[in-house]
Amino acid sequence: MYQERKINDDLYWVGANDRRLSVFEGVFAIPRGVSYNSYLLFDEKTVLMDTVDRAVQGVFFENIEHLLKEKDCTLDYIIVHHIEPDHCAALPELILRFPEVKIIGNALTIKIIKQFFDFDVESRALIVKEGDTMSFGKHSFTFYMAPMVHWPEVMISYDSASQILFSADAFGSFGAINGNLFADEVDFEHEWLPDARRYYANIVGKYGVQVQAVHKKLVNLKISMICPLHGPIWRENIPWYIEKYHLWSTYTPEETAVMIAFASVYGDTANTADILAGKLAEKGIKNIAMYDVSVTDSSQIVAEAFRCSHLVFASTTYNMGIFIKMEETLLDLQKHNLQNRDIALIENGSWAPTSGSLMKKLFDELKDIRYIAPTLTLHSALKESQLAELEALATTIAESIKQSRAKSFNHE
């Protein structure tokens, strides 16, 4: 049964949700599910914006066939903003059902479609490039290339008639759409922002420079609505969300806050992390985030590292290395190009602790990393004799947080 939703008189959401998939792209936990958004525009021509993942294509076709029948239209065009299979897997089936449809994409999009699929692409392809405009009646779309937001072929489009930006993966979020299609219909800041940040940091976090480049192309556009390929549609408070993208893409901490992430086999490193967190709280630090990396999806640590200004990593030494789960997490962070953070490290080892220097080596490859204290070394368990050292570490972190707060307050 169809489940499309009306956005305005000309535009419909024809996507679908997947609440059963446990890991998106085989790696990111999505306990709140995910939506694959597709949009259908009715004008003199009928235009589909992207398709959906194979897992949900049944309802997607019910949506578009129902609407086309109701409006007595055929499908003229599909715009492929992003060829990744979560948005294109239904393309071959679309071509079977609507053999006359023309495919609008840039040259690289068309090339990659041919790599994925065997249907005749060439005879249906309409190639667009940066700044090209296509009119479908009263709506005319301008295309902007957005390379590496998330793949090199990504493009976004702007409908000047309705001032709607079709933003591809940009401004998207993990999380299924639970009826409320618009961001202003949900408590986005509390219910959605953590997943939107996790989506950004993990999917495009590495490409801050490219996100900034797209940002510059859009500054002069009047945007009434943002239609992303995942998650809710934006029609209110758009500058607030754009500002989040600005912070994330410039690797500016979103909040002056601390995250402690630890790895511990027997519990002594965990114990030290807990004591440190308690001391920070006693020094007035609020909203401390703390994670055991053994049981936390590394996408969550990556997202929290994009949010927080101060990061503490504490790890057991393991076979002369960093404990495996911590190493995985830190490599993930490194691959996402994290920058501009205040860091403190704690290592633990019973005979030759090395995890501290090895963690530092990983962070040394990132830009603007400031070690705010010497590495604290534990030899199996925290001893009474080291409490003063831990206290000093807590004081340094707390003072640094307070200084950063004062600085950002003065800038406001």
Ligand X SMILES: Cc1cc2nc3c(=O)[nH]c(=O)nc-3n(C[C@H](O)[C@H](O)[C@H](O)COP(=O)(O)O)c2cc1C
Residues in contact with ligand X by the rule CB under 6 A: 264-269, 316-320, 348-353, 380
Q: Of 205 and 349, which has the nearer Cβ to ligand X? A: 349
Q: Of 18 and 93, which has the nearer Cβ to Fe ion? A: 18
Q: Which does 387 bind (CB under 5 to 8 A by kind): ligand X, Fe ion, none?
A: none
Q: Which does 35 bind (CB under 5 to 8 A by kind): Fe ion, ligand X, none?
A: none
- Strands (E) across 111-161 are located at 125-127, 133-135, 140-145, 155-159
Q: Which does 253 bind (CB under 5 to 8 A by kind): ligand X, Fe ion, none?
A: none
**127 phi, psi to nearest 5 deg:** -90, 130
Smallest distance, ligand X to C-beta of residue 322, A: 10
Smallest distance, Fe ion to C-beta of residue 99, A: 26
Within a 10 A sphere around the Cβ of 75, how many other Cβ atoms? 20
Would you count residue 153 as binding Fe ion (CB under 5 A)? no
Would you count residue 86 as binding Fe ion (CB under 5 A)? yes
Smallest distance, ligand X to C-beta of residue 162, A: 57
Residue 316 exposed, middle or buried by CB count within 10 Å (0-12, 13-18, 19+): buried
Which residue of the chain is nearest ligand X when measured via CB?
349
Q: Which does 86 bind (CB under 5 to 8 A by kind): Fe ion, ligand X, none?
A: Fe ion
Smallest distance, Fe ion to C-beta of residue 179, A: 21
Here the tokens at position 370 are 């400031």
Smallest distance, ligand X to C-beta of residue 314, A: 8
Residue 211 · residue 149 · CB < 8 Å = yes
First to last CA, the chain: 51
Would you count residue 169 as binding Fe ion (CB under 5 A)? yes
Q: Which does 84 bind (CB under 5 to 8 A by kind): ligand X, Fe ion, none?
A: Fe ion
Contact segment (CB under 5 A) with Fe ion among 148-156, 253-261, 272-280, 327-335 equals 148-156
Q: Please report where in the chains the tokens 């489940």 appear, as a residue.
A: 3
Contact segment (CB under 5 A) with Fe ion among 27-35, 89-97, 162-170, 253-261 equals 162-170
Secondary structure element (H or E) that encloses residue 401, with its range:
helix 387-411
Smallest distance, Fe ion to C-beta of residue 85, A: 9
* Amino acid residing at 348: N
Q: Which of 326, 338, 255, 269 is nearest to 296 (CA)?
A: 326
Q: Which residues of 87-98 are buried (b: 16+ CB within 10 A; e: fewer)?
A: bbbbbbbbbeeb
Q: Of 100 and 384, which has the nearer Cβ to ligand X? A: 384
Q: Which of 28, 22, 18 is nearest to 204 (CA)?
A: 28
**Residues at the site binding Fe ion, with contacts judged by CB under 5 A:** 84, 86, 150, 169
